[in-house]
A and B are shown apart, each in its own frame.
Chain A
Amino acid sequence: MSSLSSKTKKALIIGIDGVPHSLLDTYIEGDVMPNLKRILNEGYKLHKMNASIPDVSSVSWTSFATGVNPGEHGIYGFTGLQADYSLSFPNSRDIKVPRFWEILGKTNLQTSTFSEKYLKKVGHPRRSIIFNLPHSYPASPMNGILVSGFVAIDLKKATFPETAYTYLRSINYLIDVDAEKAKEDKRQFLDELSECLEIRKRAISHFFNDEPWDLFVACITETDRLHHFFFDASNDRGSPYYELFLDFYAELDKFINLLYNRFMETYSEKGFFMILSDHGFAPIKEEVYINPFLQKMGFLELQKEGHYYERIGNKTKAFNLDPCRIYVNYRDVYHRGTVRREERLELLREIRGALQSLKGEKGEDVIDKIFQAEEIYKGPCLDRAPDLVCLPEDGYDLKGGIEKKEIFGQSIFTGMHTWNDAFCILPAKVRLLEKPSIEYVTDYLLQYFTQ
């Protein structure tokens, strides 16, 4: 009997990039999202969730996809530095452990603390469609269909198998909106954002209806883009973008409803349904450029020559990468490294003290939490972890750029990521003992398929 029922198991997961629990709650209560409200009443519960640390999409979605922390999966951000301080851009090939569709599809021989819990219980391989999940580029072969999300560059490399690419080409699929356009013209950018959402909905509907699958994951990126440039409008009735912002969420609500209804029509209560975001958002008061701060405090020296981080000079003790990942300039790692391993703890204490002294204009705290790598990361990739990671107070958007001279500033962006205000919607019967982190909720999906 169990094998029969396991064959009919189906799961639908909707990922919505950068949607905060608090905003979703407001919009559900305020009837901006009446369908989601109804869905919750049909046996689902909205939970607050913590994002990964740092709270950027590549790390958070990878934590979700693998069910483990960065110390084990190896992704700490969108950027990394090589020994000569040139930039590198980690992609899906840098993920060291299997992702849930690879565990369910039995297509990845690597193991992790997470996969070991489930691998033997999977039974027959499951076919997944993973659509627009960030940090899955380039797409690697799997059991099903994979369309990579941000930061995918070449659609062909972003797609597996080739037939999926042919389809996406035929509809002029867009991987992502050109965020650069927001600087030229905000209204046009909003139009293009809607265009992007439309084409994504179309592609999702196609794969959802016309392809066989056991697990379907559909991610929406446009919310994150909307928030970066318009988050100040989210609760401001006076903003010229307020209505458009609500319209966007109303549109999202309809699409969630469409997928949910089709899923329930076919699989009724047997299916597993879940919605989640990878981090929250808050309005920006000020951007905080950590590298100029490190420079001012004597931890960082910049040369005149060189591109980006190649300017890091030979008196540098530490530098920062986005958003606030502070790396020690170790002698045995970097070309102009200065710090011996035995000097690490003393140096980190000094930097910690300096960061705690960083205050806003009215003397308010800027940094909320400072973690040392070994406090939050565990696993074989700990050696490449940033030495310190900071989470800011809401309103202070920590930045890793190297070009700014001032410590505080403002830009076109009005929204910043938050760590403690992501959300997940799970079946009400799932009992959460405490506030989950994103890598823990993956358990519920695998439990569903293996029980």
Chain B
Amino acid sequence: MDHLSRLENKSIYIIREAYYRFKNIGMLWSIGKDSTTLLWLCRKAFFGHIPFPIIHIDTSYKFPEMYQFRDERAKEWNLNLLIARNEMKLREGMGPDQGSKLDCCNELKTNALKLIIKKYHLKAILLGIRRDEHGIRAKERYFSPRDIQFKWDYENQPAELWDQYQSMIQEEEHFRIHPLLHFTEFDVWSYVKREGLPIVSLYFSKNGKRFRSIGCVPCCSTIDSEAKTVDEIVEEIRISKTSERAGRAQDKENIYTMQKLRALGYM
């Protein structure tokens, strides 16, 4: 089996396990390339019809292209789409200019998610996190319990432990499941290419610029790139691994440093 098929198989296995064990689950879809890949894998796992809701956390600050892409795919793929918005905070005017950006993320993302988990009594959430995207995420596990008192490395545990742990879940506790953890950025783009997956146009170069990751308009910036197609992006990332990483790593390290300091109340 080739590399991408192996990655795909592993993800599909995790998605199916999660569904059969928890039933009441949802998937977070940010409309970005990773979670769109995850969405695609979920469709494959259940032969085209995903038996759980797809949640879009809508901060109201997303790119118009993203909303359009979301609605088109939701229709085309017959998704049970739930839109999570922290309406109360949005009415109060919460945004990147009001308070800190961290507050904005907290209210419009984290708390919006909390609200929808509570409303639909979701027991587990599928997320498109990759192990290589954040230093902080390097130690994430495939199954990451939130608010439950135990440690668990999924890969080192026999499957029957599922039942035991499932019965321990109490109100308002949920699992986070990361079926894409073993994909790298390069893998994702290679997979997008192989599958012919539709992707938001923001990723493709316009006037020498493209987005490498997308989110809310005020907090996203472009990179210099001439890559106008998926093929060109795959090639760009393949080359950047050897030639551009060093320069970027320092910037990245500063971002992590900043995150760590901020988490302790500095800055």
Does B100 lie at the interface of the complex (its beta carbon under 8 Å from any beta carbon of A)? Answer: yes
Known contacts A400-B266, A400-B267; is-contact A150 B110 (Cβ 8 Å): no
Does A176 lie at the interface of the complex (its beta carbon under 8 Å from any beta carbon of B)? Answer: yes
Known contacts A179-B264, A400-B266, A411-B265; is-contact A188 B258 (Cβ 8 Å): no
A79 contacts which chain B residues (CB < 8 A)? Answer: 261, 266-267
Does B10 lie at the interface of the complex (its beta carbon under 8 Å from any beta carbon of A)? Answer: no
**Most B C-beta atoms less than 10 A away, residue of A151, A154, A191:** A151
Contact, CB under 8 Å: A188 / B267: no
**Most A C-beta atoms less than 10 A away, residue of B139, B147, B253, B265:** B265
B217-267 with Cβ < 8 A to chain A: 253-254, 256-261, 263-267
Contact, CB under 8 Å: A178 / B254: no
Does B121 lie at the interface of the complex (its beta carbon under 8 Å from any beta carbon of A)? Answer: no
Contact, CB under 8 Å: A191 / B264: no
CB distance from A172 to the nearest CB of B (A): 7
Known contacts A153-B256, A154-B135, A172-B139; is-contact A228 B264 (Cβ 8 Å): yes
> What is the interface of chain B mostly: helix, strand, loop, or mixed?
helix
Q: Whose C-beta in chain B lies nearest to the C-beta of A91?
A: B257
Q: Whose C-beta in chain B lies nearest to the C-beta of A415?
A: B265
Does B151 lie at the interface of the complex (its beta carbon under 8 Å from any beta carbon of A)? Answer: yes
Does A361 lie at the interface of the complex (its beta carbon under 8 Å from any beta carbon of B)? Answer: no
Does A401 lie at the interface of the complex (its beta carbon under 8 Å from any beta carbon of B)? Answer: yes
Does A399 lie at the interface of the complex (its beta carbon under 8 Å from any beta carbon of B)? Answer: yes
Contact, CB under 8 Å: A187 / B147: yes
| Complexed CA–CA distance, A413 and B265 (Å) | 8
The 8 Å CB contact of A308, one of B147, B260, B267, is: B267
Contact, CB under 8 Å: A403 / B100: yes
Q: Whose C-beta in chain A lies nearest to the C-beta of B151?
A: A195
A42 contacts which chain B residues (CB < 8 A)? Answer: none
Proximity string of chain B (67-100) to chain A, C-beta cutoff 8 Å, 1 when within and 0 when not: 0000000000000000000000000000000011
The 8 Å CB contact of B253, one of A154, A308, A397, is: A154
| Complexed CA–CA distance, A185 and B114 (Å) | 12
> What is the interface of chain A mostly: helix, strand, loop, or mixed?
loop
Known contacts A87-B254, A154-B253, A403-B99; is-contact A228 B149 (Cβ 8 Å): no
Contact, CB under 8 Å: B147 / A180: no
**Most A C-beta atoms less than 10 A away, residue of B135, B258, B259, B264:** B264
Does B136 lie at the interface of the complex (its beta carbon under 8 Å from any beta carbon of A)? Answer: yes
Q: Whose C-beta in chain B lies nearest to the C-beta of A284?
A: B265
Does B206 lie at the interface of the complex (its beta carbon under 8 Å from any beta carbon of A)? Answer: no
Known contacts A89-B254, A184-B110, A403-B100; is-contact A179 B146 (Cβ 8 Å): no
Contact, CB under 8 Å: A180 / B149: no
Does A174 lie at the interface of the complex (its beta carbon under 8 Å from any beta carbon of B)? Answer: yes
A154 contacts which chain B residues (CB < 8 A)? Answer: 135, 253
The 8 Å CB contact of B260, one of A87, A176, A400, A403, is: A176
| Complexed CA–CA distance, A108 and B194 (Å) | 54
B261 contacts which chain A residues (CB < 8 A)? Answer: 78-79, 89, 151
Q: Whose C-beta in chain A lies nearest to the C-beta of B110?
A: A184
Does A322 lie at the interface of the complex (its beta carbon under 8 Å from any beta carbon of B)? Answer: yes
Known contacts A89-B254, A184-B110; is-contact A153 B267 (Cβ 8 Å): no
A153-211 with Cβ < 8 A to chain B: 153-154, 172, 174, 176, 178-180, 182-185, 187-188, 191, 195
| Complexed CA–CA distance, A140 and B37 (Å) | 41
Contact, CB under 8 Å: A191 / B151: yes
Proximity string of chain B (133-156) to chain A, C-beta cutoff 8 Å, 1 when within and 0 when not: 001100100000011110100000
Contact, CB under 8 Å: A153 / B257: yes
A308 contacts which chain B residues (CB < 8 A)? Answer: 267
Contact, CB under 8 Å: B267 / A401: yes
The 8 Å CB contact of A153, one of B100, B253, B264, is: B253
The 8 Å CB contact of A178, one of B99, B136, B151, is: B136
| Complexed CA–CA distance, A343 and B177 (Å) | 59
CB distance from A290 to the nearest CB of B (A): 13
A182 contacts which chain B residues (CB < 8 A)? Answer: 263
Contact, CB under 8 Å: A151 / B139: no
| Complexed CA–CA distance, A259 and B99 (Å) | 47
Q: Whose C-beta in chain B lies nearest to the C-beta of A323?
A: B266
Contact, CB under 8 Å: B139 / A174: yes
B99 contacts which chain A residues (CB < 8 A)? Answer: 403
Contact, CB under 8 Å: A179 / B260: yes
Q: List 16 A-B contacts (CB under 8 A).
A: A151-B257, A153-B257, A178-B136, A179-B263, A180-B259, A180-B263, A184-B110, A185-B147, A188-B146, A188-B147, A225-B264, A228-B264, A228-B265, A308-B267, A322-B266, A404-B100
Residues of B within 8 A of A (CB): 99-100, 106, 110, 135-136, 139, 146-149, 151, 253-254, 256-261, 263-267
Given A87-B267, A413-B265, 5 additional A-B pairs, CB 8 A:
A89-B257, A153-B260, A180-B259, A195-B151, A308-B267
